[in-house]
Structure 1
Amino acid sequence: MIYNNIHEGRFKSRPNRFIAHIEIDNKIEICHVKNTGRCKELLLPDATVYVQHFDNPNRKTNWDLIAVKKGDTLINMDSQAPNKAVGEWLQAGGLGLLPDKIKAEYQYEDSRFDFYLEHEMERWLIEVKGVTLEEDGIALFPDAPTLRGIKHVDGLARHVKEGFHTAILFVIQMDGIRYFTPNTKTQPEFAQALKNAELAGVNILAYDSAITPESMSIRNEIEVRL
């Protein structure tokens, strides 16, 4: 996936979860933050960030916050990017199959899953989770408690019994990661839900990403430690 009209800036403040104040060309601009997570370890004063500019009079702000540098690592912060990148990856056969049919935002029973696939006689339900939290080369999810995340994991486990192939795909929005593990300290219930899902037959997968200020794409499979 590709971004246009990217500019470099410096993070200054985040008055609320939806907006940030960014210095761009010596001027403070209000930017939409496309990630409602806490991201406190990323959005530090004067951190280098990359923002996308829009010429749209109907927008409240002409800027979106896309990526941030943490040391030497560039991290994509766009919460919509993982699904877009996974959609391209699935179309290209990234899951090891070329789907006959792909539907995004698929409603099944009481949940909306990110992707539904058909391949020959197989039916797949896939949930995508973007990961921006990293500690010492370890990727962690979630960075804040998520009841919706647990519901999706439990749903995937339940639907295995109905004949679906299911997967939860953690998209790590950076590279240089040693392995992925659930953030037990933040939400032990989510970590337990993942273990239960794996026992039920859900595929628990993690991939890192190739990140530039203008792009993001799924890269290599990463070890998962539950």
Structure 2
Amino acid sequence: MKFEVPLVTGRLIKRYKRFLSDIQLDGTGEVVTAHCANSGSMMGLTREGIRVWLTPSDNPKRKLKFSWELLEIDGAMVGINTSRPNGLVEEAIKAGIIPALSGFDTLRREVKYGKNSRIDILLEGEGGKKTYVEVKNVTLSREKGLAEFPDAVTARGAKHLDELCEMVAEGHRSAMVFLIQRDDCRRVSIASDIDPKYAEVFERARAAGVELYALTCALSEDEIKVTGLAEVV
């Protein structure tokens, strides 16, 4: 996935109110407020002074001219824009990077299902066989080479897992895809100390037959590219 326009670089001053971040731009030194499209805690990623990349916009209807896309911390490139993962996973599925999810006839995004929810990706194959695919963006890493999810308590995430279980019980396939949007990790695990309830539901989903996959990424100021499968531990 290539960025639509050249990114702008700067240094993080602070992130606040979840969706706002103050950035000092390189070159001019101007301080701007950028939209932070990430509802998680971004644990370990909001250190003052780290280098960041922003997408500029010339849309006069937007309140904020910039959106925060990437950051670099301790030598790792990390993608924090949670509007990107579904598109990246769609690209990976179509490219055959997840062989178990190949062979579909149609792929649709944001389809209503379950209890007032929308599935990130719905794959449909011959005879109407359905595969429900939930996508999670993963940015937390507290151990070298290991990514973790979630980075905050997520009742919504647990609800999604329960709904995937229900789809399996109805005779469909369900899959959880963890997109590791950082270039220094090749494994992912559940952060049970952060959200014990999610960890409990996750193990129940695994036992119920929900399929588990993880993907690695290469990130640069030009593009984010899914590079292969990672291990779910």
TM-score by length of 2: 0.92
User: Matched residues, percent identical?
Assistant: 31
Aligned-pair distance for 1:161? 1.7
| Other-structure match for 2:42 | 39
| Other-structure match for 1:66 | 69
| Other-structure match for 2:159 | 151
| Other-structure match for 1:132 | 139
The one of 92, 96, 102 equivalent to 2:95 is 92
Cα distance in structure 1, aligned partners of 2:148 and 2:68: 22
Contact 1:134 1:140 in 2 (8 A): yes
Verify: 1:115 aligned to 2:116, yes or no: no
Query: How do 1:1-226 residues align onto structure 2 when only pairs under 5 Å count?
Result: 1-3=1-3, 4-24=5-25, 25=27, 26-96=29-99, 97-110=102-115, 111-121=117-127, 122-136=129-143, 137-225=145-233
Cα distance in structure 1, aligned partners of 2:64 and 2:91: 28
Aligned-pair distance for 1:92? 2.4
Cα distance in structure 2, aligned partners of 1:36 and 1:208: 21
Cα distance in structure 1, aligned partners of 2:177 and 2:157: 12
Q: What letter is aligned with 2:151?
A: D
SS in 1 for 2:60: coil
Structure 2 residue runs without a partner (length 5+): none
SS in 2 for 1:223: strand
Q: Which runs of 4+ in 1 moved over 6 A?
A: none
Task: Summarize the Cα distance change of 1:79–1:171 in structure 2 as closer, same or farther, 3 Å threshold.
Answer: same
Cα distance in structure 1, aligned partners of 2:18 and 2:79: 16
Cα distance in structure 1, aligned partners of 2:21 and 2:184: 27
Structure 1 residue runs without a partner (length 5+): none
Contact 1:91 1:98 in 2 (8 A): no
Aligned-pair distance for 1:99? 2.0
Aligned-pair distance for 1:144? 0.6
Cα distance in structure 1, aligned partners of 2:86 and 2:69: 15
Q: Alpha carbon RMSD of aligned pairs, Å?
A: 1.3
SS in 2 for 1:55: coil
Aligned-pair distance for 1:88? 1.5
Contact 1:90 1:99 in 2 (8 A): no
CA-to-aligned-CA distance 1:31-85 (integer Å, 9 cap, x gap): 1111122214111111000011111111111111000101111000110111110
Contact 1:11 1:21 in 2 (8 A): yes
Aligned-pair distance for 1:175? 2.1
SS in 1 for 2:198: helix
Contact 1:132 1:173 in 2 (8 A): yes
Contact 2:186 2:216 in 1 (8 A): no
